[in-house]
Chains A and B, each alone.
Chain A
Amino acid sequence: MTDVTFLPGAPSARRLDLTSDAAKARVRSRYRSEARFRWYGICAIVVTAVFLVVLITDILIKGLPAFTQHSLSIDVPVTAELADPEGKGTPEALAAGDYNKLVREAVRSHLGIEGRAATSNLSKLLSTGSGDGLRDAVMSDPKLIGQTVPVTALLSDDADLYLKGTGTKIERADGVAIATPSDVKGDITITAPGAFAADTAALRDVITKRVATLTAGAELYEQSADATVRDRAKPLREEIATLAASISDANAPALLGSHVPSLLIAINGGIVKLSSLTNDTASGTALIPLKSAEAAQAGAWQRVTYVTPEADRKVDDAKVALLDRLQADGKVSRGFNTLFFTAGDSREAELAGIRGALVGSILTLAVTLALCLPIGVMAAVYLEEFAKKNWFTDLIEININNLAAVPSIVFGLLGLAVFLNFFGLPRSAPIVGGLVLALLVLPTIIIAARAALRAVPPSIKEAALGVGASHQQAIFHHVLPLAMPGIMTGTIIGMAHALGETAPLLMIGMVAFIVDIPAGFTDSATALPVQIYLWSDLPEAAFKQKTAAAIIVLLMLLFVMNGLAIWLRKRFERRW
């Protein structure tokens, strides 16, 4: 601005203009842009907040159901041939008993179903650990053999998920005419004049639509140049032919399939799954046998609809019918999932728990804390109080700052190459995990401890030196105790960081499937975040729930640790 010239009396090159329309418009646009700029900031914060809320809600919705679990309360007659097949009564013989079968038989006789299909359905509904409670009871008291014992048997993950509402809605309507079943089990035809007219009409509509869709699909396939694609039309054509035949004639029975809502009839204490319908008759198979083949009055029998088509859910009609019956009998109860906190990992979702991972995390963090608190504090004391300004001190400082920014997976590589391969420490062990995490959080703790030491006013040290304390006495007796709250806060935050760290632990092999609860620092173990990673990879829906539940536990732990750090800071913070 050296060439600004201002000549008194000469017309000013730029007059102050505040009143013209152009000037007002300029001011308005400047204020608009001011408001816009402000909005950008608000939007940025709101987007971040919304993301956080969505994240936490999503995990809560996914994870909270896993904290409860469904089980079956049933009286089990403990027979000697299953509980103690060898008849010895020794603990080994008792442990070898088939308690799952005992429970299954009890449920089977309660429902009154028979046959191989029923057994298979029941063993899919009951957990593979359903007999564990009974086994423990019998082993602690062998006199139970021959008696009838009330047992709480765990349901399988599929049954549990179904009962938590991922299955189907069930609609019930009272039957309108007198219904007469032809038999009590097997294939049954139920005759009830006029009772199924509405259902049949609706079904015919659905079938007509499905025939149209299938025909379109089949035509699309048939136009293809590829022979293998054309072959795909064949099964479609067959299905079209069957369906079309079933609605060709007004009296022909309309066929129910797995693509339409399932229709069942509850009559005389049994349940019949229908496979075809006419206006007056319905035929199908008994899922639960009827008590008698007598005619039932209108209102004494029910039409039951499982709204979600069978093909769209994991639990088929037979199992839904069994669960529905067990629930109606009050045998199913929902309780807090204690197993989740007391069991180790398992291949069965309903039996898997986080205790092994929690203990692994605790052991790992114990090693980390034992190493990095003393080392971190001593390093900080040295750098803050004793280090002379020279190249060695500079080197240490550069290294600390750099290590704080090194990706955590690189620390895993260090652990793998140095601790496992060079020093030959055991793989998957908490001691190695603790060592690696200690190196990882050491910079954090050193930096926090230095800040805490720096915050202690020099007058404290000077006063100590003044009354004759040595330099170390002044530091260790006076400065360090005053810096301790700050150091503890930093340490807790560092530990929280270590608790959530996953990648380096994957590198040193703490990622195996480990059922046993680790008992020592050299046992194979996994950690909570690694368990989360392992479970998230499994295909079962129940494991996804468990993953989210484990995340909730992890977040709660982090929340508590950070809360503790904040409380410490508030409680002991001192302004000098």
Chain B
Amino acid sequence: MAGLYFLALALLTATAFVLARQRASALAGGRGREALHSLPIYHGMLVASGILAVMLLIFIFGAPLVSHLAHSNAVAQLPPDVVADNLKSTIAFREIFKIASGEPAGPVATDAIRNAAEAYRSTSVSGHWALLATGIAAGLGMVAFGTSRITRSFRARNRFETFVKVVLVLCAAIAILTTLGIVLSVLTETYRFFFDPTLKGKPTVLGFLFGTEWNPQAAMRADQGDIQSSFGFLPLLTGTLLITAIAIAVAGPLGLFSAIYLAEYATPKIRAFAKPILEILAGIPTVVLGFFAALTVAPLIRGSGEWLGLDVASESALAAGLVMGMMIIPFISSLSDDVINAVPQSLRDGAYALGATKSETIRRVVLPAALPGIVSAFMLAISRAIGETMIVVMAAGLAANLTANPLEAVTTITVQIKTILVGDQEFDSAKTLAAFALGLVLFFVTLALNFIALRIVQRYREQYD
């Protein structure tokens, strides 16, 4: 149905364009283009864009209206006890959709369901035809209206440019809409998680923020045990921070020193060799790094731990942290490289003139000058590490341990979001909504880190020019 509508839309738009352009050309007659305010093509584009906008709007508002009507007509046919019961109505509607789309009726189909399906089908079919008719009528109307307005002095170009500008603004506003979508979806589900009284299991804000036990699976058996204690977020936080700390401990020195070397010491030849290495490393998908961490690094660490007489978990935080550190090296290195290069040469020359060696210049002059930028690079790296998913999903554990021992298995916020949401999609259980609460924490923590990083750079940047 939608296909037919968009076919009509495309045809009408194209015809309108051709018609309007021809009419404008005819108006100009043989006197060349000077006779018109706007080129014929702008007249064509204006009418075409008008049709496009009107027909799209009709579809965007009409299609949900039709399905809403069909839905309510179907509900009217169902007995009240089915409508009142959430589960029963879900099953009934699954069957209704099946019958309405032409498949044979299943065993749960009652007469009421058959009637409802028939009502659904007939409403939605007639609704869609009505929608198509409205759309085509409006389109034809626009064609007539648009072409009738074409005169020699009609400012088609200016009007079309206004239309284009509106489209441009809408495109740019998608960024705002995305943020809004993220914040709203995460916030509403989190609100339900904490304050929805019908939810199985009773999580509380305090229990979530300060609880030390994380066991969302227990919420499925809502009648047994103390459910409040199973949504304690602290072990996830410590797990995330532990892996992040290991990653930064690896990536910090390696990234910073390679940035210093590349910016200050490296000859163009070495730069041409080392830069691509960092770029390739930056381009490796995290799922590949996760595979490497889980299948190569973790057994290696476990093996060498056994050799040293240490008891290492097979999903140790160390393995995930090490590989995550490797992932972050290019990130820190390229950001720090830029910052170090931005320090003016005159500062270095001044230090050299005082007799400082190159490393003394770097340590005492260049790095302090670049410090705000380097700090912000580290904060961005931390935010990247906290939000990283695949490496920890594949190499870190699932059990929430409150520990600071890097040889034990810990779990992270992202691992838990993934574990909860892959598989079951029951949106009325606290377990599923807990993932959104974790997402909220993740979103705001990374947002705050990015914001602080940005402010540090803005605030403490030395103005040398």
Contact = CB atoms under 8 A, between A and B. Distances in A.
A48 B277 contact: yes
B28 interface: no
B280 interface: yes
A503 interface: yes
B418 A417 contact: no
A558 interface: yes
Interface stretch (A132-140, A158-166, A249-257, A548-556): A548-556
B288 A503 contact: no
B175 A409 contact: no
B168 A409 contact: no
Contact of A38 (B288, B359, B418): B359
B256 to A, nearest CB: 8
Contact of A379 (B174, B291, B359, B388): B174
Interface string A493-507: 000100111110011
B284 interface: yes
Contacts of B274: 45, 49
A100 B67 CA distance: 50
Contact of B261 (A45, A383, A533): A45
Interface string B419-449: 0011001010000000110010011001100
Interface in A410-468: 410-414, 416-418, 421-422, 427, 439, 442-443, 446
B286 A34 contact: no
Interface string B270-306: 1000100110110111111111101110000000000
Nearest to A42: B261
A379 B357 contact: no
Interface residues of B, number: 85
A48 B181 contact: no
Given A47-B254, A413-B186, A405 B450 contact: yes
A62 B450 CA distance: 38
Contact of A41 (B258, B329, B439): B258
Interface stretch (B73-81, B138-146, B157-165): B157-165
B311 to A, nearest CB: 19
- Give the most central of A59, A410, A443, A529: most B CB within 10 Å: A410
A470 interface: yes
A227 interface: no
Given A48-B278, A382-B168, A507 B421 contact: yes
A386 interface: yes
B179 A403 contact: yes
B359 A34 contact: yes
A288 to B, nearest CB: 37
B284 A409 contact: no
Interface stretch (A76-84, A89-97, A190-198, A394-402): A394-402
Given A414-B185, A558-B285, A532 B291 contact: yes
Interface of B is mostly: helix
A182 interface: no
Given A41-B261, A470-B157, A529-B287, A403 B175 contact: yes
Contact of A536 (B283, B295, B357): B295
A375 interface: yes
Contacts of B414: 407, 409, 503
Nearest to A397: B175
Contacts of B362: 37
A383 B357 contact: no
B176 A401 contact: no
Interface residues of A, number: 85
Contacts of B436: 413, 417
B257 A41 contact: yes
Interface in B323-366: 326, 329, 357-360, 362-363
A549 to B, nearest CB: 12
Nearest to A385: B168
Interface string A43-70: 1110111011001001100100000000
Nearest to A496: B283
A489 interface: no
B430 to A, nearest CB: 16
A381 interface: yes
Contacts of B418: 409, 503, 506-507
Given A34-B359, A439-B178, A378 B172 contact: yes
Contact of A562 (B178, B258, B283): B283
Nearest to B394: A536
A62 B292 CA distance: 11
B380 interface: yes
Contacts of B404: none
A396 B164 contact: no
Nearest to A530: B287
Nearest to B277: A49
A409 B442 contact: yes
Given A59-B292, A410-B182, A375 B174 contact: yes
Contact of B253 (A44, A374, A376, A439): A44
Contact of A52 (B281, B295, B390, B422): B281
- Give the most central of A38, A45, A471, A554: most B CB within 10 Å: A45
A38 B261 contact: yes
A426 B283 CA distance: 31
B454 interface: yes
B387 A409 contact: yes
A121 interface: no
A104 interface: no
Contact of A502 (B165, B284, B287, B359): B287
Contacts of B10: none
Interface in A346-388: 374-376, 378-379, 381-383, 386-387
A40 interface: yes
A410 B442 CA distance: 8
Given A34-B358, A551-B288, A399 B283 contact: no
A59 B296 CA distance: 10
A502 B178 contact: no
Contacts of A471: 161
Nearest to A411: B182
Given A52-B280, A382-B168, A502-B389, A406 B446 contact: yes
Contacts of A375: 171, 174
A405 B380 contact: yes
Interface in B355-405: 357-360, 362-363, 380, 383-384, 386-390, 393-394
A396 B387 contact: no
Contacts of A248: none
A64 to B, nearest CB: 15
B194 to A, nearest CB: 16
B319 interface: no
Given A40-B257, A42-B261, A409-B387, A399 B178 contact: yes
The 4 A-B pairs with the shortest beta carbon distances in the complex, nearest first, are: A407-B387, A41-B261, A500-B285, A417-B185
8 contacts: A34-B360, A45-B270, A51-B281, A55-B288, A396-B175, A406-B446, A406-B447, A414-B185
Given A34-B358, A41-B262, A555-B288, 17 more contacts: A34-B357, A36-B359, A55-B292, A402-B450, A407-B388, A409-B439, A410-B182, A410-B186, A412-B421, A417-B185, A470-B161, A502-B286, A503-B390, A506-B421, A529-B285, A529-B390, A533-B390
